[in-house]
Structure 1
Amino acid sequence: MIELGNYNNLKVLRSTRIGLFLGDSEGTEVLLPNKYVPEDFEIDGELEVFCYLDNNERPIATTLKPIIKRGGFAYLEVKEVGAYGAFLDWGLEKHLLVPFREQQVRMEEGKKYVVHCFLDQESFRLVGTSRLNRLLSNTGFPFEVNTEVNLLVYRKTPLGWEVIIENQYKGLVFESDVFQPLGVGKRLKGYIKNVRPDNKVDVTLQPIGVSMMESTATLVYEKLEENNGFLPLHDKSTPEEIKEALQVSKKAFKKAIGNLYKAKKIRIADDGIHLT
């Protein structure tokens, strides 16, 4: 079965003047237009293509790689606002429609929003939505504390940054745990900090405990090597100075230089820290 909004491995059936006709094991065919046909195709060979509906609402295949696929989330720019909603650039010729009813706030041309792509069961079209809260549930959250996870930042709140965890769950990075530039739409790695009884999940951008000390120590050591063996940071440096230089907390920095000092990797002086 050819899945719209996703990648499909399809068999090359025949070549025509308008492109290749590809098919699945159930006998369903789809056209790959000439402009997307690779030079090294073979009849009866396989191609990985993305399938969606063209401007005439017909299934079509492409070798282009869209920014988002069905079931995914992405940070997309509005190219046009029409009578039915906003049209977002997702990397294909036909833009992704976000109907007005699926907009958390009214979208504006030129601005970017985090959206989810899904197949509308009434129209059988791929559409987007920015109403994300109904899609994210932490019921049965499978990750233990300190597990590394993929994050997508989707909203700023007074407490910190709300993130989508592994394309399915919802978490919060508290402002006090942020030691690097963040913004809506940014993708990065994070670590599960706490899973609360009410299923709310706290996330940190650094590993916890010993792993954090080891990674921060490695970061400090690499920064020393990059700066000719010296950093003008020490116990009396302010948290702001440390955060600006290393994007870590003062507590993590002190533990890191303590580990490096015990390992005789550095010496600590009045003007800062030096590689031995």
Structure 2
Amino acid sequence: MNHLLATVITGMVTDENETFYFIQKDGFTFALDKKEGQHKIGDMVKGFVYTDKQQKARLTTVAVETTRTSYGWGLVTDVRRDLGVFLDVGLADKQFLVSLDVLPELKELWPNKGDKLYVHLDVDRKNRIWAVPAGPEVFQKMAGPAYNNMQNQTWPAIVYRLKLTGTFVYLPENNMLGFIHPSERYAEPRLGEVLKARVIGFREVDRTLNLSLKPRSFEMLENDAQMILAYLQSNGGFMTLNDKSSPDDIKATFGISKSQFKKALGGLMKARKIKQDINGTELIEQ
């Protein structure tokens, strides 16, 4: 039976009871739940073969993308530090384990519940079915080329490879690949984590994207700077105040001290959002 498990087969209905049809293939029998549809003895039925939680041989006509020979996405439903992580690949009564042996050595980088892994299935000598994450070559073959016109766009990105050099991700909505350098993140993402990543560059050599998990510079500005930006935007992009203005004028307009005001202006100038002269402060057109 080992060679049939985790594959799609076509077998014959040879028997039934109140709950199941029994499908035979190569001398082995698989139970098909009658809730999936009506059949009669002698019908040929196509379906995915697996063993359920009780290790009973089963066949389902539910479409399953993840097999021995094909990859599909699995949703992490449980994490067992002594075993690995369990994935839902679309079967109502069975989840497949990704062994701890193929997961990162650092358990804090393991997938969490709700994360996603792109896997195929493998079967050991004891007829146990395992989920095996796709390697980088699978993603490289699957993904299409990125384009050099996506700067500052933000997209969902799923982590598929962790390296010291950075994080490799797949953009499911675009079918593209991306890379996040350690300098463009605050902490290392988990394997399978679904991120929101911003495009900051394009690699012509392999047509992939450089991405960042950090906000744009103006998004990191403190509240005082945001208040000044809002004031400028509501006043035609200019104000007579600058870092030489009196503390009283600054306090009257913004309700903050001159030192706070100068710090906020410094951040805005560093982010290239404003410029100053003796007349005041002006927004820089983006």
For normalisation by structure 2, the TM-score amounts to: 0.46
For normalisation by structure 1, the TM-score amounts to: 0.47
Larger radius of gyration: 2
